[in-house]
Amino acid sequence: MSPNEIARVSQFSRWMCLDFEVEHPHQGGGTPIEAKASRTLANTMLALQVVAPVGCYIFDIFIQSGDTSLNLYQIDHNQVLTSAGCARMSGAGALSPGEIEKVVDGVLALIETEQPRLNTPLGLLLNGMSGGDIYVKTLLWVAAMDSILMAEKAKVFKQRLCKILGPETEVFPGLEAQGVPPYSVDDLASDIYILRNQIAHGGVILSRFLELPPVSSARNINASCPGLLTYANVLHEASIMLLCRLLRHIILQDMLPVFTDLKQWERLLKVK
């Protein structure tokens, strides 16, 4: 390892390890089995982001030989994953270890189907976390939710999101002590979709999205919450929180068999 690589490794505080066997290991690596092992680790990191979308600033995959010495075949430097403030503060919330494992297994199962309809939300989550501009990230994360809800209109998007998650469900649970307002899914769902459409179609962002967040009389929400400077920022924060919550809900509520069957999923989404 070079001095720079040694310095980089010394910064790691968490490790995921995967033990696998190659029939004829050789210096240089690059076998299909090694490539599969790297994909498994990368997919597991993505699954952990669904559990707790906190991002990851250093994520390198080391392939080594033997269990006693650091005889490296190769190092894969993966892209930085960025998140949003509220998502980082929320972490995994109140999820138990068993629920975390169930979500990870569910995400990996979706990836292994290799069906675009099932993989698209995860790809958009990943691409959003790889971007920098909040509008682009918001666009990708709301598009990911729309690929799940198949809404195509703000009204339908709100109806379906409220049906699955519940209209009164808090978007930022447990963050009131940090000054984050208790917005509900019903409060933000429609505006999230409207902002997404403006970004997607190159429209001028509505002035109300560039102002302080609105006050909800039902919850006496304080619009001067720290960190959420404009309403667009609130919607940006909410987009990743709701996307990950939606994916977790589908997995934890044992809805994967329905989600993977298009006709059953369409019947479930219908709102009378």
pTM as predicted: 0.88
Q: In the predicted model, what is the mean pLDDT of the chain?
A: 87
3-class state of residue 178 by DSSP: helix
> Cα angle at 172 between 48 and 129, to 5 degrees?
40
Range in 48-52, 113-117, 130-134 the model is least confident about = 130-134
C-alpha pair distances (Å), 75 with each of 3, 57, 71: 14, 16, 11
Q: What percent of the chain has pLDDT over 90?
A: 58
Both tokens assigned to 35: 């490539």
In tens, the pLDDT along 136-155 reads 999 999 999 999 999 989 99
Residues 6+ apart with CB under 8 A from 49: 55, 56, 81, 83, 125, 126, 129, 244
